[in-house]
Structure 1
Amino acid sequence: MADDPDDLQLYAQEGPGLFDEPLPGAEPACDIAAAAQDLPVEPVIEEPVIEEPAAPAGSSVKVVERPAAPLALYRRYRPDTFAEVIGQDHITEPLCRAITNNKVNHAYLFSGPRGCGKTTSARILARCLNCEQGPTPEPCGVCDSCVQLGTGGPGSIDVIEIDAASHGRVDDARELREGVYFAPVSSRYKIYIIDEAHMVTKEGFNALLKVVEEPPEHVKFIFATTEPEKVIGTIRSRTHHYPFRLVPPRTLTAYLEKICDEERVEVERSVLPLVVRAGAGSVRDSLSVLDQLLGAADHGRVSYQQAAGLLGYTPDALLDEIVDAFAAGDGKGVFAA
């Protein structure tokens, strides 16, 4: 049916089209609409930008600078190689031989008192296995993997450290199990370091049994714990167990002397036995105590009296007076001392 000419005139539009360029001298549409409604056009007022005035010269206003906080001694002197780990030769030597002989197991259990090197040794083992020159018991220290896993490094995406104290539930274990089968991003192995392993729930351990027993070739597990008896037997039987020990006083004293020399702080010889006693064989605890004393050093020197007072020990001179009073049968002298 043909269109009626009268109907087409209904759609005819006079003037420019909707998308045509405006004619020269034409008024804007907004002005036309305002005039039609007899409303004034309000001009757009731009808000002024207020600039903060700079502090005048000689003003008392000062910029407070925060000094860079030094790392704690136990972090600054964390070992990067097995050769730097002290007092654990019964562990470091077999691990080095296993790496040399290409006999590294798929899962390890490091147990022992706190602050004796369990987590540190786990990181060193990961460093040895993923070194570009390795696997080697002596990491090169210059490749990307060694730098990432070294002291002060950012860590490696292929070395996953898990705090079981906060991630020990069965859901966490299932999430770990699912991620195991993905290949490492840039390293030779994907290594899981599970710290505080005794905090993993029984259900969590059961969820890991199969993958710990038969992990992919690119995966290694290292469990670290202070309470190995709380790790279920089916997990312990799937790992090589290495028990760490408290460090002997003589070894620890020599190590602390070396640290004092590095820090260029004079410490009286009678101070270090107090530090070793307070540390109770733990390297980390001993370094924390020494760090406290060095922080309070008087003109770069730590005296016996200062250390005894700060650590809460009875000075030897006072003990000598008490013993002498007992030997002389002087009861009043004992209490007077």
Structure 2
Amino acid sequence: MSMALYRRYRPQRFQDVIGQEHVTRPIMAALRAGRTAHAYLFSGPRGCGKTTSARILARCLNCAQAPTDTPCGECESCRELSLAGGGSLDVVEMDAASHGGVDDARELIERAAFAPARDGYKIFIIDEAHMVSNQGFNALLKLVEEPPDHVKFVFATTEPEKVIGTIRSRTHHYPFRLVPPETLEAFMSGICADEGIEIGAGVLPLVVRAGGGSVRDSLSVLDQLIGGSEERELAYDQAIALLGFTDASLLDDAVEAVAARDGASLFAVVERVVQSGHDPRRFVEDLLQRLRDLIVVSLAGEQADDVLTSVPRDQYERMLVQAEHLGARGASRAADLTNDALKGMVGATSPRLQLELLCARLLLAEAGPTGDSPASQAPDAGAAPRTPSGGATGSRAGAGGRDRAG
């Protein structure tokens, strides 16, 4: 069986960790100077390199060339902690989701009392640390506060606020971040080149969007596309169909119909969305993303190209025309209505009906500068007209005339 991409391309050095330079640089400096802490807390979104960095830190600490910020990859410890290795007795990984009780903490305390079997440190990597119970944390508190010289801790968690303050205050906290789209696209482009995969235009931005800035999630999506590809080529149409995103041509037609106030064309787009099997809610979500891009194009001018770097060139050229037709105010009004509709579609029993109502609102919002139709600006038929002097005419004046006549 082939190994998943996120495992095969897991970094083995801090220099290979992408998008986390604010974390890797100070840790590498501490490793070179021999000033490492006894406990670390790595926090951040899933799939951004917390556990991977903890393993790299363990390799650096127990490398035969330590202190070093780059594992040699040749000593016995480095080989055991590599992707092909079976693990080291002196590096213990625990999943707190299933080992977070007080009994597990006591077992860890007992294991920490013994010196390393071979290497310089006994390192405990506790994943999903927020799942450790308060009793378990309290049992570990003394050990984390004053550990033996040969013991080091690395806590990895997606929810650092759930780690009790007495533990957090005794660690060096490094927050990991989501990886920027440009960095992630360049990384995956290199992987596709290594794998001999030809990438169609616009595919990688879709993968990055589906992964949401997580390296692991993005590589899982890319792995899925590669697994189902024919002739080692990733086509845009295939990626759109597999990931469930809306075809760009549907969004182009919808925006142009709104700008031209063409109801027939806009509702024809709705029919195409339904007939092609697209999820109406996903279409609305993608339409909101397109309107956001048009606002950026309208307001940023020539600098918009630097902001929308993940947008394919041909699509960007079409968006320039759409932004000119719709305008910044029109795009902003349409985005507000689309965002409100998207919130209302959560749990809706008839998403197509909600989509059609949104289309009607988008057309009516473009009917006038204030968003009102001309008919809504007509005077109330039941209201009495005013005279130039501010007086009212009609039945009251007529009654007064009859009184005077009488």
TM-score with structure 1 setting the length: 0.79
- Pair 1:125-2:54 in alignment: no
For 2:153, give the aligned amino acid.
F
In the alignment, what sits opposite 1:141?
73
Structure 2 SS opposite 1:179: helix
1:78 corresponds in structure 2 to 10
- 1:152, distance to aligned residue in structure 2 (A): 2.4
What is the distance in 1 between the residues matched to 2:115 and 2:175?
30
Aligned-residue offset at 1:269: 3.0
* CA distance in 2: counterparts of 1:276 and 1:82, whole angstroms: 22
Q: Secondary structure at the match of 2:123?
A: strand
SS at 1:285's partner residue? helix
**Which of 231, 253, 256 is the matching residue for 1:299?**
231
Query: What one-letter code is carried by the residue in structure 2 that aligns with 1:173?
Result: A
> 2:169 matched to which residue of 1?
237
Shift, 1:314, TM fit: 0.4
> Is 1:192 equivalent to 2:124 in the alignment?
yes
Deviations 1:142-187 (A, max 9, x none): 1111111112211111100000000000000011011101011111
d(CA) in 1 for partners of 2:157, 2:41: 8
Distance in 2 (alpha carbons) for counterparts of 1:282 and 1:94:
22
Q: 1-side partners of 2:154 and 2:201: how far apart?
A: 39
Tell me how large the CA RMSD over aligned residues is.
0.8
Structure 1 distance, partners of 2:32, 2:162, is 32
Of the two, which has the highest radius of gyration?
1
**Residue pairs, 1:206-221, within 5 angstroms:** 206-221=138-153
Structure of higher RCO (CA pairs closer than 8 Å, 6+ residues apart): 1
**1:228 maps to what in 2?**
160
Does residue 317 of the first structure (1) align with residue 227 of the second (2)?
no
Q: Alignment identity in percent? A: 66
Separation (CA, whole Å) in 2 of partners of 1:332 and 1:308: 26
* Per-residue deviation, residues 63-91 of structure 1 (Å, max 9, x unmatched): xxxxxx11110000000000000000000
Shift in Å at residue 326 of structure 1? 2.1
Give the Å deviation of 1:268.
1.1
Secondary structure of the structure 2 residue equivalent to 1:151: coil
Structure 2: distance between partners of 1:146 and 1:206 = 33
* Structure 1 or 2: more helix by fraction: 2
Q: Tell me the CA shift for residue 135 of structure 1.
A: 2.2
| TM-score of the two chains, using structure 2 as the length reference | 0.66
- Partners of 1:269 and 1:243 in 2: CA distance: 34
Matches within 5 A, 1:50-199: 69-199=1-131
**Do the aligned residues in 1 keep the contact of 2:33 with 2:67 (CA within 8 Å)?**
no
Q: Counterpart of 1:261?
A: 193
- In the alignment, the residues of structure 2 paired with residue 328 and residue 192 of structure 1 have an alpha-carbon distance, to the nearest angstrom, of 63
Measured in 1, the distance between the counterparts of 2:78 and 2:36 equals 19
Aligned to 1:287: 219
Give 1:76's aligned amino acid: R
- In the alignment, structure 2 segments of 5+ residues that lack a partner are 270-406
The reply on whether 1:336 has 2:336 as its aligned counterpart is no
Give the distance between the partners of 1:104 and 1:269, measured in 2 at CA. 45
